Amino acid sequence: MFDYKLLAALATVVEQGGFERAAQCLGLSQSAVSQRIKLLEMRVGQPVLVRGTPPQPTALGQRLLNHVQQVRLLEGDLQQQVPALDEDGRPERLRVALNADSLATWWLPAVGDFCRASGLLLELLVEDQAVGLKRMRAGEVAACLCASPRPVAGARALALGAMRYRALASPAFIARHLASGIDAARLARVPAIVFGPDDRLQQRYLAGLGYAGSFLHHLCPSSEGFVRMAEAGLGWGLIPEAQVAAQLADGRLRELLPGQAIDVPLYWHSWRLGGERLEQLTAHLRRQARHWLVAVQEG
Amino acid sequence: MFDYKLLAALATVVEQGGFERAAQCLGLSQSAVSQRIKLLEMRVGQPVLVRGTPPQPTALGQRLLNHVQQVRLLEGDLQQQVPALDEDGRPERLRVALNADSLATWWLPAVGDFCRASGLLLELLVEDQAVGLKRMRAGEVAACLCASPRPVAGARALALGAMRYRALASPAFIARHLASGIDAARLARVPAIVFGPDDRLQQRYLAGLGYAGSFLHHLCPSSEGFVRMAEAGLGWGLIPEAQVAAQLADGRLRELLPGQAIDVPLYWHSWRLGGERLEQLTAHLRRQARHWLVAVQEG
């Protein structure tokens, strides 16, 4: 069998983003961790890490990490029946990549019951879908929640439903900039809020109103910051309605054009051979999602 | 003078994370953008970009970006008096790196007035302090809000006050795990929530109670997700009190040990020669911060 002490050293260096932290985490000296990585590289005959800040796995290193992740998931299953097998006695964390808006809104309430009952620990990564799926492919995460329906090899994608986004702004912003009526050309000339280069929602919204050019915008890569920015009257933007129920109820935010919502479908990607715990979590999510997401219209 | 068409191409490729998007953004073909980068590299006699996904600036490329950022800030000042100077007529965005908790809570309400009055557009980057200051040094941002008091060369750091963090959990979590009393050894054995490898607050809290070992924890790199996770009863964690005033008032979250708050000081780093608009924003923040942050005890 493989020497898992060496593979665990590799995984820990990558997860912790450095040799010093990996050493702390493993209860080893830094030179012992270096030794293990070097020994691993001698055995496989190639570098497994690009030494940098932080260290990055090579292509071969990523294949090894993929394997470690799969083994850990399988160990997680076994451990529920035979807890003493795990040397350090700590439950493994399940690594999940998900989009910022799901994390800021429905995902944790939806999985809460399951995690409390099973004692599962989570390691969450906030990633847009391209990076989330890349991490799946590299075996760095056990599951990924994103808008892409296409699973990576060895995984499957489950349609959960859609998040409903509405174009919102503060009453002061509307009074200041849009008092004489709202149309696409006017909207393009007042500041919007955009999450980041991958956020095309505002563009889609303007396109739905017949406008295709560029538009003024702030950039704010934080779900919570996005809402704060809209509340502060700095711009308009598409916001999940579930995130701002209170603000819509008390009038801190208002919808620009009622009835023009955009639904973003969400898919849960998980490994086919990810083990029993991941299966159970997937089944739990399938049941829970309908309480939090809107049903997707089949095309 | 420098050829700013070439420098703008470099800046746009780095900001947009690729040649295709940079081309869209500049209204050029992708090959025209490549040509400009190649021409720039011929002139300076060295590569300015490492071609990858996304493209990264070389050390020389970063020095050029630093210069572009400074020039843009100075242009921003002039543009207020002579708007027609700017070819595309769009206001420049001010790039600011800040910590996730400030963005999720007080920062946007604090700068709101200033941005509305001046028409300033923001490009916000969520970074921990090491990366935020690295971006300052590389000239990628005009300002950075973080916990480090030490300015980079050419910049200054202004003490704004501190965010107050309290150790919180849901009543259900406390009833389930900590009904028989709360002490450090017990806390270390029930799940905590940790923002990421750089988040030492939970560790500091336990250390303050006399505990120094490892502890069970989830990892959740999102301010809003962190609160959702605590509300869902998955763990305890240190949360800015300003972020959860509603949850503390209605009892969704409770403090574990009243009176054991941790104050994290915040410093505003900005370029000395960043131009008038940055000066004004800095002065505005200095006045506003006291409404949102607690005063720091001088050591």
CB contact (8 A) between residue A225 and residue B124: yes
CA distance A114 to B233: 11
Q: Is residue A59 part of a domain?
A: no
**Coil, helix or strand at residue B297:** coil
Residues B84 and B110 in one domain: no
Average pLDDT, chain B: 87
Chain B residues with CB-CB distance to A234 below 8 A: 108, 112, 115-116, 122
The answer as to whether A36 is a domain residue is no
Same domain, yes or no: B101 and B136: yes
User: Are B63 and B114 contained in the same domain?
Assistant: no
Q: What is the pLDDT of residue B33?
A: 92
- What pLDDT score does A129 carry? 74
Contact between B136 and B242 under an 8 Å Cβ cutoff? The reply is: no
Q: So what's the pLDDT on residue B299?
A: 47
What confidence score (pLDDT) does residue B64 get? 81
Q: B233 and chain A: CB distance < 8 Å anywhere?
A: yes
Query: What is the per-residue pLDDT for A218?
Result: 93
Q: Which residue has the tokens 């921990």?
A: B128
Closest Cα in chain B to A194 = B123
Residue A66 lies in a domain: no
Cβ within 8 Å, pair B124-A191: no
Residue B1: which CATH number? 1.10.10.10
* Token code pair at residue B216: 């069970």
Same domain, yes or no: B211 and B292: yes
Q: Is A254 on the interface with B (CB under 8 A)?
A: no
Flag whether A239 is in a domain: yes
Rounded to the nearest angstrom, the minimum Cα separation between A298 and chain B is: 30
Q: Mind listing the pLDDT tens digit for each residue in B190-215? A: 999 999 878 889 999 999 999 988 88
Query: What is the spatial distance between Cα A195 and Cα A142, in angstroms, rounded to a whole number?
Result: 26
CB contact under 8 A, A228 and B100: no
- Boundary residue ending a domain (B65, B91, B117): B91
Residues of B in contact with A91 (CB under 8 A): 216
**pLDDT tens for the 299 residues of chain A, in order:** 667 788 889 999 998 889 988 888 888 888 989 999 998 888 878 888 998 888 988 888 887 887 777 677 666 555 555 443 344 545 568 889 999 999 999 999 999 999 988 888 899 999 877 788 888 887 778 899 999 999 998 899 999 999 999 999 999 999 999 999 999 889 999 999 999 878 889 999 999 999 988 888 999 999 999 999 999 999 999 999 989 999 999 999 999 999 889 999 999 999 887 778 889 999 999 999 999 999 986 54
Q: Which three-class secondary structure string do you get for chain A?
A: CCCHHHHHHHHHHHHHCCHHHHHHHHCCCHHHHHHHHHHHHHHHCCCCEECCCCCEECHHHHHHHHHHHHHHHHHHHHHHHCHHHCCCCCCCEEEEEECHHHHHCCHHHHHHHHHHHHCCEEEEEECCHHHHHHHHHCCCCCEEEECCCCCCCCEEEEEEEEEEEEEEECHHHHHHHCCCCCCHHHHHHCCEEECCCCCCHHHHHHHHCCCCCCCCEEECCCHHHHHHHHHCCCCEEEEEHHHHHHHHHHCCCEECCCCCCEEEEEEEEEECCCCHHHHHHHHHHHHHHHHHCECCCCC
CB contact under 8 A, B108 and A191: no
pLDDT at position A198 is: 80
A156 lies in some domain = no
Q: How many helices (H) and strands (E) does chain B have?
A: 13, 11
Both B82 and B105 in one domain: the answer is no
**Tokens, residue B267:** 């410093």
Query: Any chain B CB within 8 A of the CB of A12?
Result: no
The verdict on A131 touching B (C-beta cutoff 8 Å) is: no
Whether residue B253 is found in the same domain as residue B197: yes
CATH number at residue B236: 3.40.190.290
Q: What is the pLDDT of residue B111?
A: 95
Contacts with A21 from chain B: Cβ below 8 Å: 197
For residue A46, tell me if it sits in a domain: no
**Per the structure, how many domains does chain B have?**
2
DSSP state of B44: H
C-beta atoms of B232 and A109 within 8 A: yes
What does the pLDDT read at residue A51?
87
The reply to whether residue B121 touches residue A233, judged by beta carbons under 8 angstroms, is no
Contacts of B223 in chain A (CB under 8 A): 222, 224
User: Distance between CA atoms of A79 and A92, rounded to whole angstroms?
Assistant: 9
Q: What is the pLDDT of residue A240?
A: 95
Question: Does one domain contain both B210 and B231?
Answer: yes
B contacts of A225 (beta carbons < 8 Å): 103-104, 107-108, 124, 126
What pLDDT, on the 0 to 100 scale, is given for residue A76? 59
User: Rounded mean pLDDT of B172-187?
Assistant: 92
CB A48 within 8 A of CB A58: yes
Residue A245 within any structural domain of the chain: yes
- Residue B64 makes CB contacts below 8 A (sequence gap 6+) with B7, B10, B40, B44, B48, B57
- H or E stretch at B289: helix B276-292
Q: Are residues B99 and B228 in the same domain?
A: yes
Residue of B28, B198, B217, B229 to mutate, testing the A interface (most A Cβ within 10 Å of its Cβ): B229
What is the share, in percent, of chain B residues with pLDDT greater than 90?
50
Do the beta carbons of residue B118 and residue B111 sit within 8 Å?
A: no
Given the structure tokens 């020497």, which residue do they identify?
Answer: A3
Which CATH number is A167's domain given? 3.40.190.10
User: Minimal Cα–Cα distance from B64 to chain A, Å?
Assistant: 22
B87 pLDDT above the threshold of 50: no
Whole-number Å distance between alpha carbons of A86 and B295: 47
- The structure tokens 């996770």 sit at B229
**A91 touches B: beta carbon within 8 Å:** yes
Verify that B148 and B288 share a domain, yes or no: yes
Indicate whether B141 and B246 sit together in one domain.
Answer: yes
Could you give the CA distance from residue B5 to residue B47 in angstroms, rounded to a whole number?
A: 17
Which position has the higher pLDDT, B83 or A171? Answer: A171
Looking at the structure, tell me whether residues B194 and B76 fall in a common domain: no
Mean pLDDT of B156-160: 96
Report the complex ipTM: 0.70
B42-82: pLDDT as tens digits? 887 888 899 888 898 888 888 788 777 767 766 665 555 54
Residue ending a domain, among B75, B91, B107, is B91
Examine residue A224 and state whether it is found in any structural domain, yes or no.
yes
**What is residue B209's predicted lDDT score, i.e. its pLDDT?**
92
Residues B29-44 have a mean pLDDT of: 88
A to B CB pairs, distance under 8 Å:
130
Apex CA B198: angle with CA B192 and CA B201, to 5°? 45
What domain range includes position B98? 92-299
Domain endpoint, select from B91, B126, B161: B91
B220 shares a domain with B76: no
| Residue B84 pLDDT greater than 60, yes or no | no
pLDDT at position B168? 97
What does the alpha-carbon distance between residue B158 and residue B177 come to, in Å, rounded to a whole number? 42
